[in-house]
Structure 1
């Protein structure tokens, strides 16, 4: 960091006893800019630890009090970001899963370091006054047909969305490389000699549509067309129910790529109940690489996406938008974690 080299000075003799010390005064004493002082007093990682310590020590010596309320009023900011989770928690699909918990961890880590508070809410809560007062919104999940994104967009706040990047040129979106995830699943099935695959998911959701597209495009190069039954819910029971129906109508399939680990676990459960061996008779691949999938028996092969890094990226982009800096959509890498299935 560039700054004017100076060591802490004695109290400014021109300042009368009891006169309020401003941030500009403190910056002059420390030999740095006012924004550096502001960041240091908020423990921002943008200021190196040595400079932060020097500024805090000087502020204590000079009796400087960082008035957060006054700063927020001056900037006309609440220093709050609303994080809206697009999901209705159920017993089978809980908020404690990697989605959204790991995403929230990355978001909170970055926002709190920048001096912001995190307001967690859901679409069921609507645009509450506290949400309307937030400086920006992070939406976790676009919703079927992007309905959740369109709803939050109407709130009129700066917004960054977690989901499918391919469908939006004007909206700032952070997402995983779902197309590559689908491609990797197809390539593994081809390497295993599987010729009758199934995709389990719902293409009304942008992320699932990207996964399906990568899967279908790769298989098409080998003259293979997968079965693609629609599964509206992302739960274990929904996966099991879909596979029971598949076995009744198309019992010949020998590979199954599920759009989430929960769907894949449900699929394995149904296959075993119907006397099919996994992976001998049917190979199964999930998506998300969750701890549940990794410890399931048999351990689940899955496509990994890094939710923590995604959360950090979402937070950085909304901070940029709040501060009037440019922000662009971002696609994060995915890779296949091969296990027993």
Structure 2
């Protein structure tokens, strides 16, 4: 139950986390986590805190908040993913995006500071604008960046408010292309592997579903999993052990997932593509080197990075900017 009236007792002073906590009768640490590490609190609390923060006019205490008068010539690039031994910063995503961003910012005489969403919220760097790589589950990461009030653009899917500028691939078309390929190979019992709580994976699934629904095939499984090779292996292995091979085609939301799925199939003596055809998403450098080489939906990360940098600099300069969905293509290989 709310304790206060929303006033922080400071006249026109901007509200603090303590004011929000007092307003809602919550611990300050709970409010802090809801605003800076949203996955650590339940959805109802997260929504209540954010709605109250917006109503009270709260903004994260970003050191760059006064830079309307003085530019830093620095752009913060914030990575939503949490680096781990299974998902490294050195992988093609986000490395290829970062290469495109750095190239464009350098050409424009701009600095780049690289950080993660958790570090950004804990100690925001001084910057004129923000590029966010990845929106997070239920768009949480994008909401955190938006709360800073800084100009920002996002790599991902157009799932947020109308004014949000997003650069990404045409994920729905990618899903349709994957379905067309699998159907063309005669596959009729299909699996989707990926976490559709992420906007990009959700769009890939929706495009896939739409094309399959118009055919005589069926999606017999939709298995949520992280964007890693072990996650793909762990999604398919237990399924095979429990049900046997009752599917003949897989569309994975990333190449890493697809590779893990193939490993699980091969470990149990199943042939790819003899018994199961597999399509990944990304066309990462490893796709051509994998055995069998992986059929994949190609997205151009380097160009995407350049576009992100161009658009955030335009926003910082007060110029009109539009979102951009880049075309994708199917790269056919052995799988």
**Pair in the same fold by TM > 0.5:** yes
1:58-82 superposed Cα distances (whole Å, 9 cap, x missing partner): xxxxxxxxxxxxxxx9961000000
* Residues 1:124 and 2:118 are matched in the alignment: yes
* Residues 1:103 and 2:97 are matched in the alignment: yes
Distance 2:161 2:95 in 1: 25
Identify the residue that residue 162 of structure 1 maps to in structure 2: 155
* Secondary structure in structure 2 of the residue aligned to 1:257: strand
Map 1:63-102 to 2 at 5 A: 76-102=70-96
The structure 2 residue matched to 1:190, chosen from 183, 194, 208, is 183
Judged with a 3 Å threshold, the aligned counterparts in structure 2 of structure 1 residues 108 and 194 are, in CA distance, closer, same or farther, namely same
* Residues 1:246 and 2:239 are matched in the alignment: yes
* Residues 1:300 and 2:294 are matched in the alignment: yes
* Secondary structure in structure 2 of the residue aligned to 1:227: strand
The structure 2 residue matched to 1:263, chosen from 257, 265, 289, is 257
Distance 1:121 1:245 in 2: 36
Judged with a 3 Å threshold, the aligned counterparts in structure 2 of structure 1 residues 226 and 74 are, in CA distance, closer, same or farther, namely closer
1:153-209 superposed Cα distances (whole Å, 9 cap, x missing partner): 112211100001255422100010000100000000111111001110111000000
* Residues 1:115 and 2:95 are matched in the alignment: no
* Residues 1:287 and 2:281 are matched in the alignment: yes
Distance 1:223 1:250 in 2: 22
Give the unaligned 5+ runs of structure 2.
1-66
Identify the residue that residue 232 of structure 1 maps to in structure 2: 225
Give the unaligned 5+ runs of structure 1.
1-72
* Residues 1:315 and 2:316 are matched in the alignment: no
Contact persistence 2:139–2:160 (CA under 8 A): no
Identify the residue that residue 37 of structure 1 maps to in structure 2: none
* Secondary structure in structure 1 of the residue aligned to 2:174: helix
Contact persistence 2:80–2:135 (CA under 8 A): yes
Identify the residue that residue 322 of structure 2 maps to in structure 1: 328
Distance 1:241 1:162 in 2: 28
Distance 1:155 1:226 in 2: 41
Contact persistence 2:187–2:217 (CA under 8 A): no
Identify the residue that residue 47 of structure 2 maps to in structure 1: none
The structure 2 residue matched to 1:276, chosen from 252, 270, 289, is 270
Distance 1:145 1:249 in 2: 31
Contact persistence 1:231–1:238 (CA under 8 A): no
* Secondary structure in structure 1 of the residue aligned to 2:219: coil
Size of the alignment, in residue pairs? Answer: 268
Contact persistence 2:225–2:232 (CA under 8 A): no
Distance 1:253 1:240 in 2: 16
Contact persistence 1:203–1:230 (CA under 8 A): no
Distance 1:180 1:93 in 2: 26
* Residues 1:212 and 2:205 are matched in the alignment: yes
* Secondary structure in structure 1 of the residue aligned to 2:88: coil
TM-score by length of 2: 0.77
Distance 2:228 2:304 in 1: 23
* Secondary structure in structure 1 of the residue aligned to 2:130: strand
Contact persistence 1:127–1:155 (CA under 8 A): no
Contact persistence 1:81–1:118 (CA under 8 A): yes
Contact persistence 2:225–2:235 (CA under 8 A): no
User: Which of structures 1 and 2 has the bigger CA Rg?
Assistant: 1
Distance 1:74 1:193 in 2: 58
* Secondary structure in structure 2 of the residue aligned to 1:284: strand
Distance 1:244 1:128 in 2: 39
